[in-house]
Chain A
Amino acid sequence: MSVASKKPDLPVQFGVYISLLIVIVLTLVPFYWMIVGATLPQDQFFTYPPRFLPGTHFFENLADLRDRFPYLLSIWNSIFVATVYTVLSLFLCSLAGFAFAKYEFAYKEYLFYFILATVVLPVQIMIIPLFLLMANFGLLDTHIALILPFAANPVGIFLMRQSMKSIPDSWLDSARIDGASEFQLYYRIALPSVKPALAALAVILFLFQWNAFLYPLVVLTSEELFTIPLAIERLVGQHRLYFDQIMVATALAIIPITILFLLLQKYFVRGFAGTAYQP
């Protein structure tokens, strides 16, 4: 656990605490600044010197924002797309991961390492053909175009195979003796026994889709289909003056996920530390 068993001198301890405090303050300032901006009336925000205390104008700003842009719809779109994507990807990855962990079949190792090798490929390498594919399928400017690609996720299948490997064969065999079907082995035994890994993967997948910007920018054109990043980009690009409303939009994008992070921190950390994945 601890690096040093002997405590260093008091001045050293004090210095470390001060340094950490500075880092914490610098980390929190942009969040605080966002809240200040979102709660002040517009004419009070762009002033010099800047205001440092939050106001009470949040709901007025939100109402102005809604008059300007269907932002609540964007939030719903983001939640919808990220959730459906996460469920689909969890299903594909866990089912295939189960096969790779617990069954024998021809070319198993080759297939697995072939998939795994694609982890190093940046997502951008697929965007141009995906755009053309979606154009051909008639799926441009639909949410399906956001959900289908990247569902077969190499990181996902890797995590699922790794965690399902630790399920004892004897559990599966005894369930077979008890008359369980093969598919029941998957959803009655394999899935419940890797719940923490599923949760960690769900966090990775959800955040990947939640943060996705470049690909949605290419695929979506209708404002009523926009996800949060596109909506904020549109607001910044076309309504740059209304920064009070833009800060309301960013606050609504950031605060719920921050709360989720605080609640599910161990899955976030497990997801980050367990994979080489920067979405």
Chain B
Amino acid sequence: MSIREHSSIQAVRTEGRIARNRVRDSLPSFPGVPYLYILPFFIFFAVFLAFPVVYTLYLSFFEYHGVGEGFLFAIDLGVFAVEVPRISNVEFVGLENYTRMVGDGLFWLSMWNTVIITVFQMPLMVLVSLGVALALNASFIKLSGLQRTLIALPVSANFVAYSTIFLMIFSEQFGLANYVIQLVGFEPIAWQSDRWWARVMLAITLDWRWMGYNMLILFAGLQNIPGRLYEAAEIDGASAWQKFRYVTVPQLKPMLLFVIVLSTVGSMQLFSEPFIITEGGPSNSTITILYYIYDQAFVYFNLGYASALTYVLVGVVTALSIIEMKIGGED
């Protein structure tokens, strides 16, 4: 904004509302302008977002036989032709892809693995990030900003790169984790070869990556609680615990719910970490649902079945988010 523009704003303002409307009416009108502005976005949106979302649903009722050739339909309009290519060669199978899941043991195992890893991972992460956010928000803490920055550092770590570091930390023979565990007098842990420890290892890895991120969100939420609420509670003689219970918790609840829903949605889409660190093993105990979809789609090229699995995943994610918001919205 230049000074000249500012002064002309003032001039328009002083003319008053009626005068301004008259000015606006006298301006040349460009009815097409907003459409022109949203057009590029909508072209990309239609081709790369709306179409794929619908096409995945469509594919879930078909069996895939390879990339398509020719056109689904072509209309010659004289000036130009509308040609919609057949992008895949498919055969209608009705609900077969969905009924197939019922008897697919690996599908259920991948669901189970995903849920188990989430259950191991999320409570610890939410509790620690809440605790850290509360501590950093306390008045007596020095260097709160610096500590916040250090704890938030993992938010900048590339998924595949940090997974690789944890692959080494949890190496059974030479890893740092087992070294420290033996140092304090325990037996080394079979991180890579025991089904349950492999899931715990992934949970720890995810906690490291996302704790700081959630702490930042919760910290922002704490900062937004108006100070007068605490002052009022103090005047009423509330103890520290009471202030936490009756001011902080209710005020922070929307943010806490946000963090929990976000984490659930994120864990249900877990892929890079098991792909890099465990490769789904040992004995498929860390194959997540998205990992299984990837295998079905791009290793076996069962694109129809993979599409059906994708829609089931989306359904589960949506259902879980709604349930969490319902539970969180009560009381």
Contacts and interface: CB of A to CB of B under 8 A. Distances in A.
Q: Bound pair: A and B? A: yes
A9 to B, nearest CB: 10
B156 A229 contact: no
A260 B161 contact: no
Max chain A Cβ within 10 angstroms of own Cβ: one of B31, B159, B261, B303:
B159
A221 to B, nearest CB: 11
Interface string A2-38: 1111011000010011011001101111110110010
Interface in A190-238: 192-193, 207, 210-211, 213-214, 217-218, 228-230, 232-233, 236
Contacts of B217: 272-273
A118 B48 CA distance: 12
Nearest to B183: A49
Nearest to A126: B52
A155 interface: no
A133 B41 contact: no
Interface string A245-268: 011011001100110111001001
A3 B230 contact: yes
B48 A150 contact: yes
Contact of A27 (B11, B150, B266, B311): B150
A254 B158 contact: yes
A108 to B, nearest CB: 8
B158 A174 contact: no
B47 interface: yes
Contact of B132 (A1, A23, A133, A177): A23
B156 A214 contact: no
Contacts of A98: 37
B110 interface: no
B38 to A, nearest CB: 4
B206 to A, nearest CB: 11
B44 to A, nearest CB: 4
Interface in B171-188: 173-176, 179
A211 to B, nearest CB: 5
Contacts of B317: 122
B158 A129 contact: no
Contacts of A120: 318, 321
A253 B38 contact: no
Contact of B137 (A3, A175, A217): A3
Interface in A26-80: 26-31, 33-34, 37, 46-50
A26 B303 CA distance: 42
A211 B159 contact: yes
Interface string A147-191: 011111010010000000000101101111110001000100100
Contacts of A232: 160-161, 164, 276
B164 A250 contact: yes
A152 B49 contact: yes
Given A4-B240, A27-B151, A136-B85, A174 B12 contact: yes
Contacts of B162: 30, 250, 254
Contacts of A96: 37-38, 40-42
B12 A2 contact: no
Nearest to B31: A105
Nearest to A262: B149
B94 interface: no
Max chain A Cβ within 10 angstroms of own Cβ: one of B136, B157, B158:
B158
Contacts of B303: 128, 132
A121 B314 contact: yes
Nearest to B58: A129
Given A30-B165, A33-B169, 9 more contacts: A20-B141, A24-B151, A125-B311, A128-B303, A152-B49, A171-B1, A249-B164, A261-B156, A268-B156
A-B interface, 8 closest residue pairs, ranked by CB to CB distance from nearest: A2-B139, A152-B44, A96-B41, A129-B52, A126-B52, A103-B34, A99-B37, A229-B160
Interface of A: 1-5, 7-8, 13, 16-17, 19-20, 23-24, 26-31, 33-34, 37, 46-50, 91-93, 95-96, 98-100, 103-105, 108, 111, 115, 118, 120-122, 124-133, 135-136, 148-152, 154, 157, 168, 170-171, 173-178, 182, 186, 189, 192-193, 207, 210-211, 213-214, 217-218, 228-230, 232-233, 236, 243, 246-247, 249-250, 253-254, 257-258, 260-262, 265, 268-269, 272-273, 276, 278
Interface of B: 1, 5, 8-9, 11-13, 20, 23-24, 27, 30-31, 33-35, 37-38, 40-45, 47-53, 55-56, 59, 67-68, 85, 87-88, 128, 131-132, 134-141, 147, 149-162, 164-169, 173-176, 179, 208, 211-213, 216-217, 220, 222-223, 227, 230-231, 234, 240, 243-244, 248, 258, 261-262, 265-266, 269, 271-272, 275-276, 290, 293-294, 297-298, 303, 306-307, 310-311, 313-314, 317-318, 321
24 contacts: A4-B140, A5-B139, A5-B230, A5-B231, A23-B151, A28-B150, A30-B165, A31-B153, A33-B168, A33-B169, A93-B41, A96-B41, A128-B55, A129-B51, A129-B55, A130-B48, A136-B68, A173-B23, A214-B272, A214-B290, A229-B161, A253-B161, A254-B161, A258-B157
